[in-house]
Every structure is written in structure tokens, then in C-alpha cells.
A and B are shown apart, each in its own frame.
Chain A
Amino acid sequence: MPTSGEGIGNAAEAAKSGQIFVTIALAWRILNHDKGRTLLALGGIFMAILLVFVQLGLFFSVPQGGMLLYDNMRFDLLLVSDQYEYQAQPGAFARARLDMLTAAPEVEAITPLYFGLAKWQSGEGGMWPDLFVIGLDPASSLFDPASIRRQQNLLSRPDTILVDSATRPIFGPLSSGRVVEINQRKETIAGHYRLGTGFMGLGVALISEANFARLFPERGLGLVNLAAVRLKPGIDPERAAAQLQHMVGPGLRLFTRAALAHHEASYWTTRTSVGLIFGSGLLISIVVGIMVVYQIVSAQIGRQLPQFATLKAIGYGDGALALTVAAMSIMIALAGFAPAVPAAAFIYREIRRQTMLPVILSPGQIGWVWVAALIMATISALLAVAALRRADPADVF
């Protein structure tokens, strides 16, 4: 009977084109049918996504902590010793090696930086915590934050320091005007700035080169830890780095900003156990998220099994039903994701307050969690569809 066969074919065709809307509508109806249950489901997926946010935030915060200083510095290239690991293990090189670079036509300005660890002998309860000291020329315009630029000239006074306000309470009060003892020298706190201490230590202070030489008399100013290079306008940093690298010779390394960010990220994620700790937390969070969504979706399917079987019996294919399930999963993930973003912003703020880690909710991070949420939804839908396959119309009734 060709005619009726054709008719059925047309109907299937029509169903196919409209199928995507039908499945979405169906998924919506199923979710809407039992509001209490769906609300519970949303709570579950909300928590799972929040969990992913927390782990991802911690994971990213670590290299970000390493970048804190650099992100607030103006430079195009960073010159370091080839022993450079990270800020607290920077290696050092002779200041004289900067002379050649200063004369290079591409270079606008070079600011050498000196890092040292000094005893802060005025800590809380008689403690002498270690202070990470950054020495620089007070006339340089290296740092971006207005809080530093405004006060930088104060550093030209002898025995004066600016303290990072993220310095830990173990250092005692950090009030301006307080005189503290550092490496057996009396130093006056002239003011504060806020960059964060990152991985430099528990306390960080800025100081002039001349004061640095007085605090570390054995070392002096002959050895530089980092040099921030600013290029003349219009010079491409990538190309300049290659050319200047040739000029400075072996033992030194020039980083572009991108190369530096890459170096810090790979250092913290591969060389320390940080990557593994937060990476495994992230992985388990995603699995937990999959479990939550799967649990929810398969429970819904279980309850709607007769209806699904009916749909099957009247000619909907496995594909259409799978699409319905996928639509349900994605809707649940979407609905759970939306409130998770502001909640994550709140939790991040709490973590920042509790741990001093620079946990920041960046658009990139939100994007990653969104991808993770979709992956969770898709995998759990695939798992749940397996249950649906078993829906045999003849069995259910």
C-alpha cells in the first residue's frame, strides 16, 4: 500500500522537523510537572556547579598568586637569570649586564629590582617573621597602582618602607609612622599599598635601592634579581625579545608578558603538588556533578517511564527520546548555573578573606565552569538514556 506508506513517511518527516521543539517542550513539561522535585534537582546541580567553581577558583588562584606582582608592573619584557624559578627563587645576575641593554635602540627604560629576605624584628609576641623586601629606584614608574605611585617618593627618605597591606597579623600593627626594626635597622612605615603577598612570603615591603643596600650590606647593589624592560612605542615585544636575547648572551633570559604568564602557570601546576591537589579536586567535583544530574534525570525518567513508553509506542524513536533527556539535562544545568555564579562570587570573596589567595571570578573562569556544566549535563544524559532504552512499551503496562 504505497499511499499510506508515503503518508506515514510524511508524518515522520514532519515530526522530525518539529521534533526539536517537541523535545524541548516535552523536557520542559516533565520538569515543570513536579515542581518540588525539580526544585530539589536544581539545588543539587547548583551545589555541584558551585563545587566546580570553588575547585577551579583555587586551581587558577595559585598561578595568579605568582603573577600578582607582575600584573601590577609596567613592562614589555622581563629580564631574569636563567636560574629563575618564581619570585621567591629568582636567581640573580650582575647589574653591569644591564648596560648593554640600556643602550639598545629598542629599549625605552630599564628598572632593576632587588629581592631580599629580611628579619622583621618587631613582630607580634616577640616573633621575628621573614619580610620579603623589594628594592627599586623611587624615581622609576614601574608600578601601576596609584597607591604605590602616589607614595613612591616617600621612599627617597632614608630608612623608610611601604608595606603591603596583605602582610599577615604576625608582623604586628602596620600603622603609618610606626618605627620597626628590620635586620637590626630602624625603619619607618611611611604608608601602605595593596598588591597581595602571593608566594613572596607572609609580609612584603617596598624600599628604595639605597635603603636596600643598607639592609643587605653584604649583598649591595651589584646583583640584580629582575629587570623590567620597557620598549619604545611601536616595538613588537616578541621580536625585540629575540633580538635582545641575542645581545644579552647566555645565563640570562628575556620573558615577554605572555611567556612569563605561561612560565608561572606551568611552574605552579607541574612543579609543585598544587596542580595535582586542586586538579584532582576539580576532577572529583565534575564527577560528583555528573552523579547529581544523573541521579535527578534518571529519577525523572523512572517516574515518566510509562509516558516515555507511550511515546515510543506511537512512533517516537530512541533518538527523539534521547534528545528529550539531553534537553532536560541541559535545562537543569542552565537553571543551576545561573544562581551558582553570584553564589560563587560570594564564596570567592570569603575564600579571599580567609586564605589571601587571589581567587577571582573572571569571565574566563565562568566560561570554563559553563563548559564543565555542559559536560556534566551531557554525560549524565548519556547515562540516563541507557535507562530509557530499556523502556519497552509492552513491559511498562
Chain B
Amino acid sequence: MPLAWRSLTANKWRLVRSSAGIGFAVLLMLMQLGFSQAFFDASLRVLRNLDGDLFLQSAHKYQFATQDPIPISLLAAARKVPGVASARPLYADWYDLYWKSPADGRLYLVRGFAFEPNQPVFRLPEVNADRAQLNNPGAVLVDRRGRRFLGMDTDVKQSEINDAKVDVVGKFTLGPDFMSDGTVIMGVDTFARLLRGRGGERPGMEAGVIKIAADADPRAVEKMLRQAMPANVAVLSKSQLLAFERAFQARVSSAGPIFAIGTVVGFVVGMLISYQIIFTEISDQLPQYATLKAIGYPSPYLLRVVLEQAALNGMAGWIPAWLLGLGLYHLIGVIALLPMRMTLEITLTSLGLTLAMCLVSAAVAVIRVIRADPAAVF
């Protein structure tokens, strides 16, 4: 059994105490990392669920979720580009659709998406399964993960949008983001009817969803498509579209810095806690260390023992914190409808930060051991 391990487990009560201390600092970092991830994940979720290789949208858009329609006629031009297998319209609205909640009878702003029922654009299986029904006037699909006050999680069959009767013919699972509380998806005829009166004319599309033929070279198609489009239309690959949205959220929203501050503070507090722990442990075991030195063990060996012990301390805090974090992620996902996921990235980042904070604080604390003069200790 290595010395570090024995030294760690020599006092069970102290081990519990130290792993609780480090564990909560780790939990704090995990929550901040999780929120940050969930924030971006929520705002990118719709885009990830679009079934296309290339996308057309107004070049003036600063984020996807803003009204800036482009003409439908662009799709005909896109279909003429060799290698384009399909070009379909996606209609969207974030500001004008008011859903009457069956839960409390109040009107709530929701975001709405629409497509031609015979030209599916989503990768949501339930939407595609129910799309034939969207030909019926007034038929809508609602997000069962919409915020609860919308009442979309109930078995609502009928409600109203913009004072017009709608039939809820099915549900899908998407979840809210930080801008919209809930989502409705419908056929373009229903969409145009619900929004009529605002402009009168049929709405333009917010995006063109384009698929590239299997045998075509995606880069070549992208290039030709760009040439076929006017200057005020942007042609984006899926990864570009996601990067565009992520860059907007990171630049404009406060989420990035807020959660980064939380993570950094968690790290610093964790470092102090682990310094406190390792410092106490070393002080308590100074006679033992001095003895080891006296009988000829070199300083590098002692350094290694202390660092190993610090790493073990860190692990003893990280493992329960990670497990607790898993539970909390699930709980918050259910309560706040946030897509909290314990990703590999979060796992590795938190582990790296934990080990870093423990090892750095141990390296500072170890100076005391190195200086331990066997003659002075006793």
C-alpha cells in the first residue's frame, strides 16, 4: 500500500471532512459548467434539429431568432444549382404568436415554426410522423417541454393562438431557451392564417433548408449556391450556422462571463480549502515526514508523497461531487427544463480543475515538509 494512500485513510473522519470541503467546491464548478453548457445547448437546439446541409438566411441576421425573412423565390434558384437535392422553406416567428394557455387561460408569447407539410425540414421524429395532419387548417404541434404555465405538457386538444382556434394534433420534445418559453410547429397555411392581419400578405421564409445530393461534392455545391444567391443572402453550412449562433450568444449575452466567473471563484475557493486540508495534514504528520527524512528518504520522494496525497484528496472530493452533480443536473433539467447534460467535456474539465487546485495548493504547502529539519521537529 502506498504511503500516500495510508496517510489519507489514517483518519476516516478527517477524510470525510476534507472530501466534503473539496467536493462542494467541485460541485459549485460543476453546476456553473453545466449551466453554461445548458445555456448554449438550449439556444442551439432548434438549429441542431434542422434537417439540412446548407442554410440560406438573410445576411443581415445577427442571430437566428430574429425576424428577417427572405423571398421564397430564392429556393427555385437554389434548386437549379447542380448537386442540390432539395431546397425547402422554414418559416419562423418569435414576436407575434400568442398562445392561450389551457392552464390559466392567459396569453403567452411563444415561438412558432412552420413548413410545407410535404417538405419536412426538422429532424424531430414526432414532427415528421405527424406532419400529414398539419395540412388540416388550424392544426398545430406543441412542445411538451414548454414551460409549465403554457400548459403544453397537459393533454390539451384545443386552444387558441392569436384568438384563432387551433387543434393540437401532436407533441414533440424540444424545450425552452432563454428567449422563448415554448414552441409550436405547424403547416405554412395555418401559420399564414394566424399571422394575417399583421401584414396581410403571406410571410417570407426565415431560412432555406438545403440538402446536398449524396454523390455531390459539398464544397463545390456550397460555392455554386453562394454564387447563385444575391449578396444579402448568407449561405451557411450547418457547422457555420451553429458557430454563428454560438458566437452571437457568447458575444452578446451575459451567460459566458457569468458562468465563467462562477467557475473561477469555485476554483479559487477549492484551492483554499484544499490548501487548508493539505496544510493541516502535513502539520499533523510533520514528525513522520521528518523521520522519513532523517532515515534518508530524499526530498523528491516526500514531494511525491504529498502530491499523491493531494491528488487522492482531490479525487475523494471529485468523485462524490460528480455523482451528486449528475443527480442535480437531472433534477434541474426536470424543474427548470434546462438541457443539463454531464458531458465528457464537463467531466474532464472539472477533473482537470480539481486536480489542478489540489496539486497547486499541495505544491505550496509542501515547502514546509521540505524544510522540515528532523532535529527541530522532536
A residues near B (Cβ < 8 Å) are 37, 40-41, 43-44, 47-48, 50-51, 54-55, 58, 83, 85, 89, 117, 119, 121, 123, 126-130, 168, 170, 202, 218, 271-273, 276-277, 280-281, 284-285, 287-288, 291-292, 294-296, 298-299, 302, 347, 351, 354-357, 387
Contact = CB atoms under 8 A, between A and B. Distances in A.
Nearest to A273: B336
Contact of B265 (A50, A296, A387): A50
List the 8 closest pairs (A to B, CB-CB), nearest first: A355-B254, A128-B60, A273-B336, A127-B62, A291-B21, A354-B257, A44-B272, A276-B336
Interface in B243-288: 251-252, 254, 257-258, 261-262, 265-266, 268-269, 272-273, 275-277, 279-280, 284
A356 B280 CA distance: 42
A171 to B, nearest CB: 10
Nearest to A386: B13
B254 A357 contact: yes
Interface string B90-106: 00000100000000001
B24 A271 contact: no
B313 to A, nearest CB: 12
Given A40-B276, A126-B60, A280-B332, A292 B269 contact: yes
Interface string B312-351: 0000000000000000100010011110000000000000
A170 B335 CA distance: 34
A239 B35 CA distance: 44
Given A85-B109, A129-B66, A281-B32, 13 more contacts: A51-B265, A51-B269, A58-B258, A127-B60, A127-B62, A128-B66, A218-B198, A271-B181, A280-B332, A347-B261, A354-B257, A355-B254, A357-B254
B145 interface: no
Chain B interface main SS type = helix
A354 B254 contact: yes
25 contacts: A40-B275, A44-B273, A47-B269, A58-B258, A85-B108, A127-B60, A128-B61, A128-B62, A128-B66, A202-B252, A218-B198, A271-B147, A271-B181, A273-B336, A273-B338, A277-B336, A280-B328, A284-B27, A288-B24, A288-B273, A291-B21, A292-B273, A295-B21, A295-B277, A299-B276
A44 B17 contact: no
A54 B259 CA distance: 11
Contact of A285 (B17, B28, B61, B199): B28
Contacts of A129: 62, 66
B321 to A, nearest CB: 10
B303 interface: no
Contacts of A128: 58, 60-62, 66, 68
A51 B62 CA distance: 34
A292 B274 CA distance: 10
Contacts of A294: 17, 21
A172 to B, nearest CB: 12
A89 B179 CA distance: 11
B109 A89 contact: yes
B224 interface: no
Which of the four size classes fits the interface of chain B?
Answer: 35 or more
Main DSSP-derived SS at the A contact region: helix
With most chain A CB atoms within 10 A of its CB, the pick from B199, B252, B277 is B252
B20 A291 contact: yes
Q: Kindly name the residue among B62, B95, B107, B276 whose own CB sees the greatest number of chain A CB atoms within 10 A.
A: B62
B29 to A, nearest CB: 10
Interface in B68-95: 68, 95
Contacts of B25: 288, 291
A281 B28 contact: yes
B122 to A, nearest CB: 24
Nearest to B22: A291
A351 B35 CA distance: 18
Contacts of B198: 218
Nearest to A171: B62
A351 B269 contact: no
B115 to A, nearest CB: 24
A292 B272 contact: yes
Contacts of A55: 262
Given A58-B258, A127-B60, A281-B28, A44 B276 contact: yes
* Central interface residue in B13, B58, B335, B336, by most chain A CB within 10 Å: B336
B272 A119 contact: no
Contacts of A281: 28, 31-32, 262
Nearest to A47: B269
A39 to B, nearest CB: 11
Contacts of A299: 276, 280
B25 to A, nearest CB: 6
B228 interface: no
Contacts of A292: 21, 269, 272-273, 276
Contacts of B181: 271
B59 interface: yes
Contacts of B277: 295
A18 to B, nearest CB: 32
Contact of B24 (A41, A123, A291, A354): A291
B59 A126 contact: yes
